[in-house]
């Protein structure tokens, strides 16, 4: 591993700025069976999202390919917190990389209880998926309401000393304000962004392809949106030294470098793994070469170096009139 790739994130020392995203690598063993893949190539692995009790997930189809992307609606299929702590965590090889647990809940109390249970484990950090519906509030997603986002982070903060990373939803009016509220509640890091909501339709049956009717859109199609959201969140997070995992459509080293320039301290790889399981090694090599070519000693020297054009902001939609 190149020395200039080593980085710090939420107090954790990482071998690489690459983080494998939740839902894309199962519980850490999905890609270790592939020849040429090594966990040493990644700084951290976000394990599959879990809930307090086991869940079977959504009806099929759960995944479908779209132009330059993918829609998924797995429905948080998982064996539950107890099984993960007792049966899965002890089997993880913690020598080569860090592991982050991703937690979800249908109530504020459920988030707090899961965080409390993982506080006594050797997991390195806890990522909070606040894009889940709040059952008590009629299904409104926690992450789309800054006040509810605050409450979720707050209860997790009270129940664990582990680093907390809050995964922000792009499906909201003001992501920077939401980020500020999560920082106020005690989050140590932010993951920007979660998937956008999307749909695909079978023209023969005139029905949605996804069994859940809609799902999360990921892949290169969302990269420009994700880049902007990282930039917007960084304007808030930089004042509090709260680092960002930039994610959304990263498939090349250049993509990753763009996110770092926009303000991300680390970069998340997800959908790209489905068609190129060895992409992380290539991205590491490209980032390292870029740092060397620009006489930069490490990734931290590149974070947030975006030089904006001098323009007057207007209400123009971007279409020349």
Strand partners, 64: 71
Q: Is residue 307 part of a domain?
A: no
| CA dist., res. 314 & res. 308, Å (int) | 15
Q: Is residue 189 part of a domain?
A: yes
136-154 pLDDT tens trace: 766 678 999 999 999 999 9
Q: Is residue 312 part of a domain?
A: no
132 catalytically annotated: yes
Active-site residue among 24, 46, 132, 182? 132
Q: Is residue 152 part of a domain?
A: yes
Confidence of residue 33 (pLDDT cuts 50, 70, 90): confident
- Provide mean pLDDT across the span 27-39: 87
Please give the tally of structural domains in the chain. 1
Q: Is residue 316 part of a domain?
A: no
**Confidence (pLDDT) at 1:** 62
Q: Is residue 314 part of a domain?
A: no
Buried b (16+ CB within 10 A) or exposed e, 20-52: bbbbbbebbebbeeeeebebebbbbbbbbbbbb
Indicate which CATH number applies to the domain containing 31. 3.20.20.70
**Confidence (pLDDT) at 29:** 82
Confidence of residue 302 (pLDDT cuts 50, 70, 90): very high
In this predicted structure, the answer to whether residue 320 has a pLDDT above a threshold of 70 is: no
In this predicted structure, the answer to whether residue 40 has a pLDDT above a threshold of 60 is: yes
**Confidence (pLDDT) at 31:** 85
80, 84, 138, 87: which is closest to 110 by C-alpha? 80
Q: Is residue 321 part of a domain?
A: no
Q: Is residue 138 part of a domain?
A: yes
Domain range enclosing 64? 3-301
């Amino acid at each position: 591993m190149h020395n200039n790739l080593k980085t710090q994130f939420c107090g954790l020392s990482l071998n690489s700025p690459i983080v494998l995203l939740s839902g894309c690598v199962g519980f850490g063993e999905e890609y270790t069976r592939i020849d040429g893949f090594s966990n040493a190539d990644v700084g951290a692995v976000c394990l599959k999202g879990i809930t307090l009790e086991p869940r079977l997930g959504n009806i099929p189809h759960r995944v479908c390919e779209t132009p330059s992307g993918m829609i998924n609606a797995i429905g948080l299929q998982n064996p539950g917190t107890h099984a993960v702590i007792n049966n899965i965590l002890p089997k993880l090889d913690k020598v080569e990389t860090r592991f982050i647990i991703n937690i979800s809940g249908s109530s504020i109390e459920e988030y707090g209880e899961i965080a409390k249970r993982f506080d006594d484990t050797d997991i390195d950090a806890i990522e909070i998926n606040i894009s889940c519906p709040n059952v008590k509030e009629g299904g409104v997603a926690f992450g789309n309401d800054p006040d509810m986002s605050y409450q979720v982070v707050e209860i997790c903060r009270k129940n664990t000393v582990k680093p907390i990373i809050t995964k922000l939803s792009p499906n909201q009016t003001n992501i920077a304000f939401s980020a500020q509220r999560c920082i106020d509640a005690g989050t140590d890091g932010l993951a920007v962004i979660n998937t956008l909501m999307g749909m695909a339709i079978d023209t023969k049956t005139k029905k949605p392809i996804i069994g859940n009717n809609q799902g999360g859109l990921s892949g290169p199609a969302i990269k420009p949106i994700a880049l902007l959201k990282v930039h917007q969140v960084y304007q808030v997070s930089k004042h509090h030294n709260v680092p960002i995992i930039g994610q959304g459509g990263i498939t090349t080293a250049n993509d990753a470098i763009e996110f770092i320039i926009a303000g991300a301290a680390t970069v998340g790889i997800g959908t790209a793994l489905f068609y190129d399981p060895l992409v992380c090694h290539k991205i590491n090599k490209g980032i390292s070469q870029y740092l060397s070519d620009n006489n930069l000693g490490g990734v931290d020297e590149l974070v947030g170096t975006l030089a904006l054009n001098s323009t007057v902001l207007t209400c123009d939609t971007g279409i020349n009139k």
